[in-house]
Every structure is written in structure tokens, then in C-alpha cells.
């Protein structure tokens, strides 16, 4: 910690931070209390403008890359290579809450202001980043912006992704005003000396244990797949049961099997979810011809996740054979987990202690942009409590003081890393 800076002296205005979270929540394509802010929609573009205005008001240089990652840059005084990064996302899945991701972007700007207020000036440049498309809502894969930055997604593959209306990522980004060469959005190792993300826990642990700060030790490994069963459909009244090749029934069977595998796993971190299902033709009196659904399987252990995925693939083929159907089991993403950097964890713990905040180490079962920034820089995450552990729902809540605590710990951590 630089000699002049007392972490306990760092204060963030909790009321102002809450007011900014509330103002950002106004930019939504669905009515309150839920928030919907899907990539490059009008709501997302309005939210981006608002975040950039806060960055400018904090005296940060605003830069945007080829895919709409937004950087609020606080230039360092020593011209050192290797910036210190923090940030998160502001896009929101349909009818979500207003804190997921937002606390890490607005809290990052607030942390910079808290450091400016005590006269701190960073020797290393500090970036507060708003990453593009952390949520998979529009193009089916999450963390598009941080995957590109971290070298975990091929630019051509990203450009070709299409949304439900057949609009490609490349067309969507150009319509949003981003047309630079994709290559400019890939970092070289060393570009960042450290990356720390502030985020709401999205789980019940901190609240249940009466703690203020979560020091993330690892981020679980997410995997997602698109599965399609294809049969022959037909009239719901005239095709007798023995003659059917119904596409939806095996989809339902595999959904229940996914739950059974995750519940029966030896690993406590195994989770499996079917979140989306489309049936064609989708009529009361028509036997489903195709059923397409998404599988989201995660674990902190790659072996445990792999075991569940392999069992699901086997069962899908068995069901297709038994029922004379076709089955496509396509990978959307299969990512490794990431461990936090020991020095950054120690810096977060010491920053929390200096501010008399109670902390513990914790695993992140949700994925974050930090998962991909970990590929190009030492990574850390700071969690603040989520009421009742709720997230991805309109009743998601973190109190103003809990957000301010997180931003203050982030400010002290950034000061150490950028000194």
C-alpha cells in the first residue's frame, strides 16, 4: 500500500452509487421492477451512453473497441507497461435485476472517484471496463467481449454468430457503430498487470454467514450445449402412440436426467439447467416434429462436469435410437475454470480488514468476465452480498452500503496494484 494512502480513509457515497444504479435500471426494454438490457438494443445503447457519461464525469478517458467493450482509462504517472483493470458488464438477461454486473462497473467508477478524493494518482494506468455482452441472451454465448480480449473466442466465429432474427454479430455491432478491425480487441499477455472484478455474489453464502466481502478463490467452469431431437410430427388425434416419433418426449426425458445427474454428483458444485426449449410446429394438436433446448452444465471440477456431459451425450443417443429420431448435440461453450491470483486475494483480504469488513474466501459458481481476463492477467474478484442469494430475477437486491463496502475494498485493492 503506498505510504500516503490509508485504506480506511477511502469512502464511497452509498446514496450516490444507489442513485446511479437506479438511473441505469431505467434503461430497460421491459417495465420495472425487472430490467432487460440485451446487447445493442436501444436499452443497451442508452445504458452505454449513461455509463460513458459517468466515466467522463470522473475524469476518465473513454475508449471503445471493435466489439463495444468500453474502457474508462485513468492514465498512470509512471508510464509502466501493464495496466490494472477492473470492471464488469451492464447487459441484463430478460426480466432480471439491476445489480448483476452493474455494481462492478459503477462501483469501479466510484472506486476511482474515492481514490481521486484522497489525492491518489496511480503509477500504473487503471482501466474501468464495461464488457460487451456478458450475458448469452442475444447470440447464445456469454462473455463475447471478454472472450475476445482474453483470446478465448475466434473473431471470425464471433462475427458469424446469428441471433433469433438471423442478424449476425458483425451486422449488429456495425449497426451499433462499432466497425474497427476485430484484431484491435485482442490483448497481449502483459497488457494488464492485474484484473479485479467487483460483483454481487448471486448466492446466499455471505448473507447467511453475516459477512461483508467475498474473496473469490476460483470461478466455476461453465459449459453449454444446444440439443435438437428431430422426429416426424403428425396429427395429435390420428397417429396412434405406437406409430409416433415424438421429438419433445426425449427432450423432457433428458431434462429430467440432467437434474438426476447433477443431484447425484459427488461434487457439491455440480449444476445442470435446461433454460430454453423450442418446439416445432408448436400447436396443441400437432405432435412435436423438433424439440431444441439448451443445456447449461457447470462445476468447479472439470472431471465432474465432464462426467455429467458424457452421460448426457450417451443418453441422448440412446433415446434417439430407441425412438427412431435424429439427435444433434452441439457444443456452445466448454470453458475451463480459473483460479484467482494469491497476491490479489491477499490484497483484497487486507483491504477489507483495513476497513473493518468481515470477509471469507468463496468460489464463484456463476461465470464472469474475470474468467476470461484470467487468461491474460492475474485475476481476482470481490463479492458483496445478495439478499436471499437471489439473482437473474427482478427481486435481486444488494444494499447501498454493501455496494459501497465493495467499491471501497476495490479502491484500496486498486491502489495497491497500481502503486
Query: Rounded to an integer, what distance in angstroms lies between the CA atom of residue 233 and that of residue 289?
Result: 4
Contact positions vs Mn ion (CB under 5 A): 100-101
What letter does residue 110 receive in the DSSP assignment?
H
Cell of 388: 436471499
CB-based contacts of 370: which residues, under 8 Å, 6+ apart? 146, 195, 196, 197, 199, 216, 219, 338, 379, 380, 381
Which one of ligand HGY, Mn ion, none is in contact with 142 (Cβ closer than 5 to 8 A by kind)? ligand HGY
C-beta of 112 vs 384, nearer to ligand HGY: 384
Q: Do the beta carbons of residue 348 and residue 359 sit within 8 Å?
A: yes
C-beta of 35 vs 213, nearer to Mn ion: 35
C-beta of 90 vs 412, nearer to Mn ion: 90
C-beta of 124 vs 368, nearer to Mn ion: 368
Which one of ligand HGY, Mn ion, none is in contact with 246 (Cβ closer than 5 to 8 A by kind)? none
Minimum distance from residue 102 beta carbon to Mn ion (Å) = 9
What letter does residue 142 receive in the DSSP assignment?
S
Minimum distance from residue 242 beta carbon to ligand HGY (Å) = 41
Q: 121's torsion region: left (phi>0), alpha (psi -120 to 50) or beta?
A: beta
Q: 179's torsion region: left (phi>0), alpha (psi -120 to 50) or beta?
A: alpha
How much is the CA Rg of the chain, to the nearest whole Å? 23
C-beta of 135 vs 212, nearer to ligand HGY: 135
Minimum distance from residue 30 beta carbon to ligand HGY (Å) = 18
Which one of ligand HGY, Mn ion, none is in contact with 7 (Cβ closer than 5 to 8 A by kind)? none
Minimum distance from residue 219 beta carbon to ligand HGY (Å) = 9
Query: Rounded to an integer, what distance in angstroms lies between the CA atom of residue 145 and that of residue 189?
Result: 16
Which one of ligand HGY, Mn ion, none is in contact with 367 (Cβ closer than 5 to 8 A by kind)? ligand HGY
Minimum distance from residue 392 beta carbon to ligand HGY (Å) = 7
DSSP letter for each residue of 303-339: HHHHHHHHHHHHHHHHHHHHTT-EEEEEEEEE---EE
Minimum distance from residue 96 beta carbon to ligand HGY (Å) = 9
C-beta of 192 vs 367, nearer to ligand HGY: 367
Nearest residue to the partner ligand HGY, using Cβ = 366
Contact positions vs ligand HGY (CB under 6 A): 134-135, 142, 366-367
C-beta of 73 vs 393, nearer to ligand HGY: 393
Whole-angstrom CA distances from 179 to 35, 66, 170, 172, 182 are 28, 6, 8, 10, 8
Nearest residue to the partner Mn ion, using Cβ = 101
Minimum distance from residue 135 beta carbon to Mn ion (Å) = 6
Amino acid at each position: 500500500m503506498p505510504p500516503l494512502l490509508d485504506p480506511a480513509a477511502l469512502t464511497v457515497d452509498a446514496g450516490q452509487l444507489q442513485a446511479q444504479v437506479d438511473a441505469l435500471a431505467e434503461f430497460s426494454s421491459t417495465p420495472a421492477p425487472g430490467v432487460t438490457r440485451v446487447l445493442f438494443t436501444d436499452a443497451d445503447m442508452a445504458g452505454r451512453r449513461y455509463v460513458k457519461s459517468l466515466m467522463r464525469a470522473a475524469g476518465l478517458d473513454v475508449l471503445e473497441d471493435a466489439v463495444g467493450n468500453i474502457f474508462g482509462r485513468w492514465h498512470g504517472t509512471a508510464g509502466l507497461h501493464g495496466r490494472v483493470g477492473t470492471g464488469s458488464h451492464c447487459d441484463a438477461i430478460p426480466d432480471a435485476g439491476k445489480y448483476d454486473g452493474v455494481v462492478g462497473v459503477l462501483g469501479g467508477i466510484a472506486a476511482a472517484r474515492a481514490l481521486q478524493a484522497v489525492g491518489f494518482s496511480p503509477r500504473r494506468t487503471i482501466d474501468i471496463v464495461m464488457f460487451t455482452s456478458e450475458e448469452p441472451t442475444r447470440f447464445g454465448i456469454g462473455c463475447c467481449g471478454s472472450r475476445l480480449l482474453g483470446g478465448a473466442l475466434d473473431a471470425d466465429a464471433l462475427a458469424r454468430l446469428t441471433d433469433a432474427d438471423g442478424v449476425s454479430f458483425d451486422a449488429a455491432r456495425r449497426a451499433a457503430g462499432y466497425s474497427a478491425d476485430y484484431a484491435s480487441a485482442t490483448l497481449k499477455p502483459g497488457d494488464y498487470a492485474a484484473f479485479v472484478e467487483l460483483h454481487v455474489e448471486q448466492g446466499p453464502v455471505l448473507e447467511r454467514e453475516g459477512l461483508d466481502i467475498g474473496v473469490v478463490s476460483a470461478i466455476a467452469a461453465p459449459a453449454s450445449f444446444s440439443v435438437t431431437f428431430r422426429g416426424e410430427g403428425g396429427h395429435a388425434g390420428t397417429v396412434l402412440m405406437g406409430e409416433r416419433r415424438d421429438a419433445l418426449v426425449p427432450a423432457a426425458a433428458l431434462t429430467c436426467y440432467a437434474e438426476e445427474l447433477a443431484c447425484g454428483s459427488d461434487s457439491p458444485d455440480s449444476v445442470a439447467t435446461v433454460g430454453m426449449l423450442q418446439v416445432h410446429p408448436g400447436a396443441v394438436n400437432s405432435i412435436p416434429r423438433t424439440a431444441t433446448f439448451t443445456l447449461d452444465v457447470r462445476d468447479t471440477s472439470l472431471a465432474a462436469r465432464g462426467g455429467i456431459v458424457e452421460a448426457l451425450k450417451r443418453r441422448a443417443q440412446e433415446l434417439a435410437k430407441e425412438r427412431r429420431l435424429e439427435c444433434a448435440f452441439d457444443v456452445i461453450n466448454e470453458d475451463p475454470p480459473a483460479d484467482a491470483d494469491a497476491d490479489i486475494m491477499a490484497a483484497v483480504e487486507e483491504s477489507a480488514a483495513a476497513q473493518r469488513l468481515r470477509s471469507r474466501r468463496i468460489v464463484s459458481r456463476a461465470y464472469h468476465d474475470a474468467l476470461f481476463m484470467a487468461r491474460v492477467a492475474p485475476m481476482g474478484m470481490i463479492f458483496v452480498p445478495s439478499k436471499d442469494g437471489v439473482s437473474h430475477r427482478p427481486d435481486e437486491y444488494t444494499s447501498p452500503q454493501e455496494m459501497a463496502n465493495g467499491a471501497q475494498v476495490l479502491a484500496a485493492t486498486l491502489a495497491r496494484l497500481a502503486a
